[in-house]
Amino acid sequence: MFHLRRLCKEGADNGAPLSKSGRFAKVHGVVLQRGPKNLQHIAFGRFDAAVDFVTFKAFGFGDDGFYATLNGFIKCSLLTGLDADVDEFEDHDEWRELILDSSLTWGLVGHRHIRDILCFMSFTRNTPAAPLLWPMNWVLPSGVQAVCTTRLGGVSQAPFDGFNLGDHVQDDPYAVAQNRALLQAQLGGARPVFLSQVHGVNVAQLSVSSPHGEKADACLTQEQDVACTIMVADCLPLLFTDDLGQVVAAAHAGWRGLAAGVIEQTVHAMCEKTGIAPQQLRAWLGPCIGPDAFEVGEDVRVAFMANAHAANVSQYFKPHPTHSDKWLADLAGLARWRLQALGVRSMAGNDSTSEWCTVAQHSRLFSFRRDGVTGRFAVCIWRN
């Protein structure tokens, strides 16, 4: 449960003074100025709120914080409600030094202020933060489920914070394993199968015994409790099913895979597997780099213009405002154009607005183009 009041942007909360003391058997409150990256003002006190941290790992999220709940107000004081012995708290030696440092400004935010002033979250040591999922708003047939993760939750540390699912980005393997276990828990028993994505067009046929790591950029299955899974951090993830829920599929579409035909290969494989027509398929386009951030060269535009159905493709490229040799490309728009050319009519998800742009959504999504070293979020679809 969250409680929030917008606070002064520049200063920490002012409260009754707390006498300096080296004795803190329990630490139930921490106030941080302008979010967790600024430790200039810390206040410890005892509160009656003993809660269980399952939404974020303590102090591990960015300054712009939890987008949906904080709504941009995180750049202010923050109180995190803790129920942990200081000796059990992670990195407790560092925090004990901070507690005992006489140069710190001490203050106390009393219990009576919690409901009015502070956003407080719960924490249990060694309990990973539950992942927060992207709202999909996609009508699925009975027996089919899908999720899209965000960067929120999990256990990974910066710059992979927090819910990184990629095991190829130099993150701590133990953290990635924990995050993947959290993902599987979200799938209600279905097993996510992770591919080795190579910006190609191969479509893997998944079963309950499929190993991780097959080189492919799309996958499909008709089996139950096998989750077709794609990881991204700017490329476009797509999910597919049919009107009756007989088959599910997922595809990874960076510009190379999209131009080479990964969507076409996925749709053809689904239709061949089930004997259905493209008009009976449903597609969902996930978050990707948006049309105001995706800078490409002339070679990318030429790759799409060479397509036999490229009569209207120029509308998805606009001249770069400052570089005459570059374009701004609408990756999601190009994918919708390809799907329409195939005969797929039911499309949901990414509409090329900034809400769906990985670069723009810093607090919610990973972006390789924006950050360079970063994690990966994922989409999954499965039959149950």
d(CA 243, CA 102): 66
pLDDT value at position 121? 33
pLDDT in tens, 167-196: 999 999 999 999 999 999 999 889 999 999
Q: What is the C-alpha separation between 49 and 84, in angstroms, rounded?
A: 12
Note the pLDDT tens digit of each residue in 249-273. 999 999 999 999 999 999 999 999 9
pLDDT band, residue 92 (cuts 50/70/90): very low
Domain positions in the chain: 26-117, 144-294+330-383
Contact at 8 Å (CB) between 236 and 335?
A: yes
pTM of the model: 0.68
* pLDDT tier, 334 (very low <50, low <70, confident <90, very high otherwise): very high
Q: Give CA–CA dist 207/231, Å, rounded.
A: 19
* Per-residue confidence band for 127, with pLDDT thresholds at 50, 70 and 90: low
Confidence of residue 371 (pLDDT cuts 50, 70, 90): very high
pLDDT band of residue 310 (cuts 50, 70, 90) is low
Q: Are 200 and 216 contacting, i.e. CB atoms less than 8 angstroms apart?
A: yes
- CATH for the 144-294+330-383 domain, from 1.20.1250.20, 3.90.226.10, 3.40.50.1100, 3.60.140.10: 3.60.140.10
Residue 54: phi and psi, rounded to 5, are -125, -5
